[in-house]
Chains A and B, each alone.
Chain A
Amino acid sequence: DAGVIQSPRHEVTEMGQEVTLRCKPISGHDYLFWYRQTMMRGLELLIYFNNNVPIDDSGMPEDRFSAKMPNASFSTLKIQPSEPRDSAVYFCASSLDFLNYGYTFGSGTRLTVV
């Protein structure tokens, strides 16, 4: 099993540009989560999906953020337009049943907006 795969590993972009982060969850995992990690705010849940359906997006900071999961093996997190305060490490995680088995995190995407 290759684990949760995220791309790109690093992204540097200019303010105002669109950024798309990608995630491939572990096959068979019904839950997919997008987290953001910063020194100031720690690990924050942005949105999670169950069987490709968004369940809770209350953590999405603004309308500039959007997430999709068109199928069970792919999800995207898009920021448009990006701002310097969006700079963070974005993690995707998947779980078979997170109430009983916990999350498997991807390696993360380090986003820097200049």
Chain B
Amino acid sequence: QQPVQSPQAVILREGEDAVINCSSSKALYSVHWYRQKHGEAPVFLMILLKGGEQKGHEKISASFNEKKQQSSLYLTASQLSYSGTYFCGTEIGIYGQNFVFGPGTRLSVLP
């Protein structure tokens, strides 16, 4: 079952922060985050596993709340290069049989 992402779109000024949420109706084993720029392929950002710690990647970090069955991606002091569509992907099993991408959140960072 496809996870829900919110917001669907967000517009920021350079230097502002943003949070993108990904939630599931089922208990999750792992959550992936990807960014896709227009006309390009999705690029892997990070993966969070059940029982794991919050991850960080430069000024982009993510958390995984197993109890709420959701993950949040945090973009701090956004840069123009952060613009793109962010996808979460969720997996409910340990064997990867049910991995599915969310619909995406379009992020636009303006100067």
Instruction: From the candidates A42, A98, A100, A107, name the one contacting B101 in the complex (CB within 8 A).
Output: A42
Cβ of A104 under 8 Å from chain B = yes
> B40 at the A/B interface (Cβ < 8 Å)?
yes
CB neighbours of B43 from chain A (8 A)? 105
Choose one: B44, B94, B97; the contact of A102 (CB below 8 Å): B44
**A83-105 CB contacts (< 8 Å) to partner B:** 91, 98-105
Which residues of A in the span 58-114 have a Cβ within 8 Å of any Cβ on B?
91, 98-108
Report yes or no: A98 in contact with B96, Cβ–Cβ below 8 A. Answer: yes
Interface size band for B: 20 to 34
- Known contacts A91-B41, A107-B40; is-contact A102 B47 (Cβ 8 Å): yes
Asked whether any CB of chain B lies closer than 8 Å to the CB of A12, the reply is no
| CB < 8 Å neighbour of A98 from B41, B99, B100, B102 | B99
The size class of the interface chain A forms with chain B is 10 to 19
Residues of B within 8 A of A106 (CB): 41
Residue numbers in B under 8 Å from A43 (CB-CB)? 42, 87, 101
Residue numbers in B under 8 Å from A105 (CB-CB): 41-43
Measured between beta carbons, the chain B residues less than 8 angstroms from A42 are 2, 101-104
A-B contact pairs, 17 of them (CB 8 A): A42-B104, A43-B87, A45-B100, A91-B41, A91-B42, A98-B99, A99-B91, A100-B47, A101-B47, A102-B32, A102-B44, A102-B46, A102-B47, A103-B32, A103-B34, A103-B44, A106-B41
6 more A-B contacts (CB under 8 A) besides A91-B42, A102-B32? A56-B97, A98-B99, A99-B96, A101-B44, A102-B47, A107-B40
Chain A interface residues (CB < 8 Å from chain B)? 42-43, 45, 56, 91, 98-108
Q: Which residues of B pack against A, CB within 8 Å?
A: 2, 29-30, 32, 34, 40-44, 46-47, 49, 87, 91, 94-97, 99-104
